[in-house]
């Protein structure tokens, strides 16, 4: 099935997701699914992947079919892909049970990005598994090996990528410590619902995950994409916030020496654009912008030597505050410039930035205004100065979001419910039997199926075709869908075909897992810890 098909895998999520899901609260450790993926666009600012799909070179079938339905800032990655600039991909796995076909989505996403030139990172979130889920270290060791074997068997290249465990990566833990300085309990409470019963180790594991997300940028700032399910979005939002707080400088547009917030800057930009058209060579000053914002273009008088302006009773707070700031600035020239704001730079870094800004500039306490740099050029310069002076220079991490797989018994596919999922370690015959026993979107009788067609949009078996069994063959996936909804395909035959394909996949995958054993043993990653 492709995006042109009328099916469940369109980006708004349709009606396929499990019923009874919480479509507003995203809990990284919970068991809820998302009942309406459109709410994620509205409530959390996740963007539709369709918008960026044309910019992706040779997109993966999960992208083409809408399984990957959303993103944050993925254009930074596609731009780097196309330009040949460095970029990275990272995702992690909490080893709480056997890896299953739902996890394969993330394995495939990491591998696809690696094959397109990204620096690839796969991590085992063992600290999170121990602190948030209470697994013993022996259990974690066993499951970690299974996850890594499946990742390698599916095509991850360890010679051109990085695999690590949180507990064994000191560089990661040092970064987590630094990030923790910028986070606080109230924030974690608001994001994750932590309370007085939440243990400190659980909170520490969150900061460690923030370090995971930013870890690929330690050697060099670069666009980095994190493939995740939508339940992990709270982690992405916090990681982007912390990446910003760790920066030495903030770069914004400005029009005068005073500071303005985003809403005020939008009004200032409007004022400058309008006044530039009517100034006729006269110097535009802050008071003129105040006249415009307070009373309109007709009130602006360039001929009066020192015009004054009353601040009207404006309900819109941004406009009122902008007028007050402009009136206070008075006859100061009202000119667009790019501002470097000192967020947490050392004195040496601030002086280095002042020296690095070429052309006309104004230096104030706490910020520098540059008149010959646009924002993009200024961002690049600020990051370069920061890195040269011991800072991280983090770029905001990007993310792509894939749909949850429906469990074979309905509801969410879960590692803790064996009948709901197919483990990548399952005997191929067991995988065959699970598919044969799966819930379908078929009608009550064969006659009704032929008359009304099946409900592929609600069928876990059809999802198996679209997510896995059809592989890269869009024509085959579309054929299965069309035959189902057209009444030509009956559930018994459909499940028989899917079960056979699942058996073939598991048989081949486990052969490759056996071949990967020696490769895993040769890697520099600890799989048998001495922890109690």
Question: Tens place of pLDDT for every residue, the chain, 532 residues?
Answer: 434 333 334 333 333 333 333 444 444 434 445 556 666 666 778 899 999 999 999 999 999 999 999 999 999 999 999 999 999 999 999 998 899 998 999 999 999 999 999 999 999 999 998 988 888 999 999 999 999 999 999 999 999 999 999 999 999 999 999 999 999 989 988 888 888 888 888 889 899 999 999 999 999 999 999 999 888 888 999 999 999 999 999 999 999 999 999 999 999 999 999 999 998 889 999 999 999 998 888 888 887 777 777 666 666 789 999 999 999 999 999 999 999 999 999 999 999 999 999 999 999 999 999 999 999 999 999 999 999 999 999 999 999 999 888 888 777 777 667 778 899 999 999 999 999 998 888 788 888 878 888 888 888 899 999 999 999 999 999 999 999 989 999 999 999 999 999 999 999 999 999 999 999 999 988 888 887 6
Kindly state the helix (H) or strand (E) to which residue 120 belongs, with its residue range.
strand 119-124
Instruction: Answer yes or no: CATH 3.90.1150.10 is held by domain 1-13+34-246+395-532.
Output: no
- 511/490 Cα distance (integer angstroms): 32
- 287/280 Cα distance (integer angstroms): 17
- 5/303 Cα distance (integer angstroms): 64
Q: Could you give the angle at which helices 200-214 and 185-192 cross, rounded to 10 degrees?
A: 90
Q: pTM of the full predicted structure?
A: 0.87
Give the C-alpha distances (Å, rounded to integers) separating 409 from 55, 255, 413, 417: 37, 60, 8, 10
- 320/103 Cα distance (integer angstroms): 52
Compute the radius of gyration of the chain from its Cα atoms.
28
- 166/525 Cα distance (integer angstroms): 11
**Domain residue ranges in the chain:** 1-13+34-246+395-532, 250-388
DSSP lists the bridge partners of residue 70 as 48, 401
CB-based contact 200:83 (threshold 8 Å)? no
CB-based contact 75:48 (threshold 8 Å)? no
- Angle 195-192-148 from CA coordinates, rounded to 5°: 120
Kindly state the helix (H) or strand (E) to which residue 121 belongs, with its residue range.
strand 119-124
What count of Cα atoms within 13 Å lies in the side-chain half-sphere of residue 396?
16
């Amino acid at each position: 099935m492709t995006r042109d098909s009328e099916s469940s895998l369109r980006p708004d999520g349709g009606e396929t997701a499990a019923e009874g899901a919480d479509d507003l609260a995203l809990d990284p450790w919970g068991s809820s699914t998302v009942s309406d993926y459109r709410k994620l666009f509205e409530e959390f600012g996740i963007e539709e992947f369709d918008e960026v799909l044309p910019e992706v070179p040779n997109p993966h079938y999960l992208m083409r079919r809408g399984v990957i339905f959303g993103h944050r800032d993925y254009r930074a990655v596609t731009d780097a892909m196309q330009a040949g600039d460095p970029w990275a991909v990272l995702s992690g796995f909490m080893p709480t049970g056997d890896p299953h076909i739902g996890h394969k989505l993330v394995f495939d996403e990491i591998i696809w990005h690696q094959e397109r030139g990204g620096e690839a990172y796969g991590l085992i979130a063992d600290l999170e598994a121990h602190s948030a889920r209470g697994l013993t270290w022996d259990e974690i060791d066993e499951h970690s090996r299974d996850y890594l074997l499946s990742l390698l068997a599916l095509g991850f290249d360890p010679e051109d990528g990085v695999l690590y465990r949180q507990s064994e990566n000191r560089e990661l833990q040092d970064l987590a410590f630094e990030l923790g300085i910028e986070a606080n309990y109230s924030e974690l409470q608001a994001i994750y619902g932590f309370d007085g019963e939440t243990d400190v180790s659980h909170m520490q594991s969150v900061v460690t995950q923030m370090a995971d997300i930013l870890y690929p940028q330690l050697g060099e700032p670069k666009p980095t994409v994190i493939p995740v399910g939508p339940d992990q979005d709270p982690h992405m939002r916090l990681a982007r916030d912390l990446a910003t707080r760790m920066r030495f400088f903030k770069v914004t547009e400005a029009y005068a020496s005073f500071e303005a917030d985003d809403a005020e800057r939008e009004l200032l930009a409007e004022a400058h654009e309008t006044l530039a058209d009517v100034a006729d060579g006269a110097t535009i000053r802050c008071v003129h912008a105040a006249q415009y914002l307070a009373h309109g273009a007709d009130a602006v008088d360039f001929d009066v030597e020192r015009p004054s302006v009353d601040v009207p009773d404006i309900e819109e707070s941004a406009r009122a505050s902008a007028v007050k700031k402009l009136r206070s600035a008075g006859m100061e020239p009202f000119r667009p410039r790019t501002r470097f704001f000192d967020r947490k730079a050392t004195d040496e870094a601030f002086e280095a930035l002042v020296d690095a800004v070429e052309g006309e500039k104004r230096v104030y306490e706490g910020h520098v205004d540059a008149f010959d740099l646009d924002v993009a050029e200024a961002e690049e310069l600020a990051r370069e100065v920061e890195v040269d002076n011991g800072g991280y220079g983090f770029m905001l991490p990007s993310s792509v979001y894939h749909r949850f797989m429906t469990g074979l018994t309905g509801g969410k596919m879960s590692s803790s419910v064996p009948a709901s999922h197919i483990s990548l370690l399952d005997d191929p015959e067991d995988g065959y039997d699970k598919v044969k026993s799966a819930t379908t979107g078929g009608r009550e009788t064969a006659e009704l199926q032929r008359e009304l067609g099946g409900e592929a949009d609600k069928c876990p078996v059809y999802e198996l075709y679209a997510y896995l069994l059809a592989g890269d063959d869009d024509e085959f996936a579309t054929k299965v869908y069309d035959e189902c909804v057209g009444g030509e395909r009956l559930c018994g035959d459909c499940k028989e075909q899917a079960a056979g394909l699942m058996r073939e996949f598991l048989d081949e995958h486990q052969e490759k897992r056996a071949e990967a054993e020696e490769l895993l043993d040769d890697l520099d990653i600890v799989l048998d810890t001495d922890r109690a």
